[in-house]
Structure 1
């Protein structure tokens, strides 16, 4: 490559970063992306997850990707928007989302995270991550009651003041710590 071509390529990279996408999250190779009005998030498409059509998902979910094996839902990525009232920050969103984890769960960790997104999103890029384990209840095409499961959720409030929660739940050991980190790292606020 000539020096001129290298300079042109470098300039193109710099210019594309000026349009507000410079802080777009990285989605791993082989993953798909769920898009909503507030955010986008990756899901492990190459591992058998498929986006659920709007007409089939629960009304509370803005976007969903499911992994089904022999008619059993063994993994789910979901995005809920405007899921709580009176929530104005990441701490409030995490408290509301954490309350929904359930009694049959064990919190493993709660951490503050900074999500990708436009610089002008400011505090909206601040969110909370909660890692947890739980047991399946065997209802609605989920694994047999008592099956060990794992999950991670990320909760916050977008730049328009809309609370969000993004979750990945799966049969324990079907996703590893790297997959959970990649999932959290794939979230981009709009």
Structure 2
């Protein structure tokens, strides 16, 4: 049976979530978001988002990631994927605002998921593309595709909106529960710039 090792480093590494209104440097300011020192960025046509490279996250090559994802960064410990940041673009039709994007993205978080909260957020970038919605949720790992053992408590957050060209986007973080604190989530949110 595989064992999941949760370390303090994982907590920092998973500082990859999205901001509440007014939280995080650079969120809600227009312009470009602040990416913490030691982090790198996933850059797509619709947005850029930071991930903690200095804590072991690494960008997944395009040839290895799912065709549904525009960009991915993974945290892998002992062969187990304990954290994942992903960006999906143009994932829904008929979506024209953050509420619609969040409804479409939220429908895809899966059975057995418990929603903890839904909040409106403001990201860095041009208005009205800055408007987005954050959904926090909990679930259990299924043990498939190099994820933690079946039944391991997990947490997730997604931020959904529409970029300045009208393309819907969703940014997700899934991680072992307890490895991510609110301050770390705020840092992640503060690293997102919508284009």
Check whether TM > 0.5. Answer: yes
Q: What is the CA–CA distance in structure 1 between the aligned matches of 2:145 and 2:101, rounded to whole Å?
A: 26
Match of 2:8 in 1: none
Aligned with residue 60 of structure 1, among 62, 68, 77: 68
Using CA pairs under 8 Å that are at least 6 residues apart, name the structure with larger relative contact order, 1 or 2: 2
Report the equivalent of 2:36: 28
**CA 1:94–1:46: 2 relative to 1, 3 Å:** same
Q: Once superposed, what is the RMSD of the aligned Cα atoms?
A: 1.3
Structure 1 residue ranges, 4+ long, deviating more than 6 angstroms after superposition: none
Match of 1:157 in 2: 162
Deviations 1:19-60 (A, max 9, x none): xx9721111121111000110000111221100001000001
Q: Give the TM-score of the pair, scaled to structure 1.
A: 0.85
Describe the SS at the equivalent of 1:42.
Answer: strand
Larger of the two Rg values belongs to structure = 1
SS of match in other structure, 1:54 = coil
Separation of aligned partners in 2, 1:30 and 1:161: 32
Match of 2:131 in 1: 126
Map 1:1-190 onto structure 2 (within 5 A). 23-117=31-125, 121-190=126-195
* Higher helix residue share: 1
For residues 150 and 63 of structure 2, what CA distance do their matches in structure 1 show?
Answer: 27
Distance of 1:94 and 1:187 partners within structure 2: 16
Report the count of equivalent residues.
Answer: 167
